[in-house]
Amino acid sequence: MKVTSFGEVLWDDFPGGKVLGGAPLNVLVRLRSLGVDTSMISSRGDDADGEELLRQIESKNVNTDLLQVCKDQATSLVKVHLDACGSASYEIVYPCAWDRIQVEEAALQRVAESDAFIYGSLSTRDEVSRKTLEQLVEKAKFKIFDVNLRPPHYDTGRLLEMMKKADLIKLNDDELYELSKAYGSKHNSIEQNIQFLANLSGTPRICVTLGSHGAVYFENGELYRHCGYRVKVADTVGSGDSFLAGLTYKLLNNTPPQEAVSFACALGALVASHHGATPEISLEEVENFMHPA
């Protein structure tokens, strides 16, 4: 199984120090731990932060052949603020190296041969990376759009265009309501707004995460739900990324939708019970968590 991601690679700057991050990369790190062949298309700065970022991605066994070096922009550094509940907010500098991802033939080929291609909304904020993404999407077999609304780094019109290209859209409940309202929805329930967004975008699959309350997954007119797992939250950084990795892994393995959502919720919950975006968690741990003896 091959999965390729496009977008931000960065340092999350916590009060206690810097941690490797970026949603598309976090998804790949988790997928790699599940045995998937993963490759990251992005750009880093020609600086010390960029060299260390490269080393750390390589240490996670994610392929870095398509990680470009940008000579005139710095490696991305994002200030992370955690509230009393462990929920994160972010200060994202613009521009930075991953705003300048160039089109390369090797990247086009890798996307074409991948079982899934994952891209997010943040990487559409700059014209250079956006135009590169538009070319890569055309080569993809199964396109997964991971909506990460980070004000002011998005445009709702552009987001709709990217959703229309997707085979699966993943977003949280706040993002669902914000975008549905922006596109003219008068509905007040999650289910109605999922259907509204599916009709508007023509996308057959939409997944909405609900934090500690699990997720709702829509596939070809059917809704599947999981009410979530109770854990003691350390921080929520990366839990949604691991959720998406779990969902992607199961769907690509032709797992029934309900089982796929349950697994993804368990993986996301376990990540939230640890500090950082990519703690080590084995398949056995997830199974034991879902089905304790």
Binned at pLDDT 50, 70 and 90, residue 228 comes out as: very high
| Extended strands (E) in 98-235 | 116-120, 143-146, 168-172, 205-209, 215-219, 222-226
For the chain, the average pLDDT equals 95
Higher-pLDDT residue of 4 and 16 is: 4
Domain boundary assignment for the chain: 2-8+23-41+110-290
Classified by CATH at the fold level, domain 2-8+23-41+110-290 comes out as UDP-N-acetylmuramoyl-L-alanine:D-glutamate ligase (3.40.1190)
pLDDT value, residue 275:
85
pLDDT of residue 229: 97
Q: Please list, in sequence order, all residues whose beta carbon lies within 8 angstroms of the beta carbon of residue 157, skipping any fewer than 6 positions away.
A: none
Question: Could you give the 3-state DSSP secondary structure of residue 243?
Answer: helix
Q: Which distant-in-sequence residues (6+ apart) come within 8 Å of 184 by Cβ?
A: none
From 31-35, 84-88, 264-268, the region with the lowest mean pLDDT: 84-88
What digits encode the pLDDT tens for the residues 147-206?
999 999 999 999 999 999 999 999 999 999 999 999 999 999 999 999 999 999 999 999
| pLDDT band per the 50, 70, 90 thresholds, residue 276 | confident
Report the pLDDT value the prediction gives residue 14, as an integer from 0 to 100.
Answer: 83
- The predicted structure's pLDDT at residue 80: 83
